[in-house]
A and B are shown apart, each in its own frame.
Chain A
């Protein structure tokens, strides 16, 4: 149980384009989903917390207009990187949790984004 999927697993795009990443909880309803960014050999940096049906709460320094998060259902959250630039290249990982985040977070397999 507690399986989270992400799609796509890899994406290469040109600078200036937008990229959408999907995060799905496959066998449970996730009231809360989290989006992280991880650079090589570094820790997981939280970008935003997304509660189903509510606007996402962004961490300090994360541009909400650049990283659009939608959590329209209990099994799906999306992260859209708008007007991507090479510095946005990273490993993006989502996690999903029951009980509005106060319990275990289960991570998706991650999406590698390369912006050329």
Chain B
């Protein structure tokens, strides 16, 4: 089943923070976060493999609560370049494939 992302869309001003959530009804082995700009392919941001793991990449970080089967992506002091659609991809134990959420469209205005 497809994980559920929230919110579906968010509009920010440059410098503001955002949180994007990803929730699954299945037990998760991994959560992968990607950003896709219009007309382009998704770009890998980070992968979380352990429960409770938090990883960071510049001003973008993420957490993974294995027990709640949820992950959150945190974008702090957003920049114009952060605009795009963010997808979480969830992996389950023993499965090769990822199932992607419906995406969260982030718009950063000057």
Which A residues contact B (CB, under 8 angstroms)? Answer: 2, 32, 34, 42-44, 46, 49, 51, 93, 97, 100-110
Contact = CB atoms under 8 A, between A and B. Distances in A.
Given A102-B91, A104-B47, A49 B41 contact: no
7 contacts: A34-B97, A42-B103, A44-B100, A93-B41, A102-B91, A106-B44, A109-B40
Nearest to A32: B96
B102 A43 contact: yes
Contacts of A43: 2, 87, 100-103
Contacts of B2: 43
Interface of B: 2, 30, 32, 34, 40-44, 47, 87, 89, 91, 96-103
A109 B41 CA distance: 5
A46 B40 contact: no
A14 to B, nearest CB: 24
Contacts of B42: 44, 93, 107
Given A43-B2, A43-B101, A102-B91, A107 B43 contact: yes
B41 A105 contact: no
B44 A104 contact: yes
A83 B30 CA distance: 37
Contacts of A108: 41
A109 B42 CA distance: 8
A11 B9 CA distance: 31
Contacts of B98: 34, 46, 105
A30 to B, nearest CB: 12
A46 B97 CA distance: 8
Nearest to A51: B96
A110 B43 CA distance: 12
A101 B41 contact: no
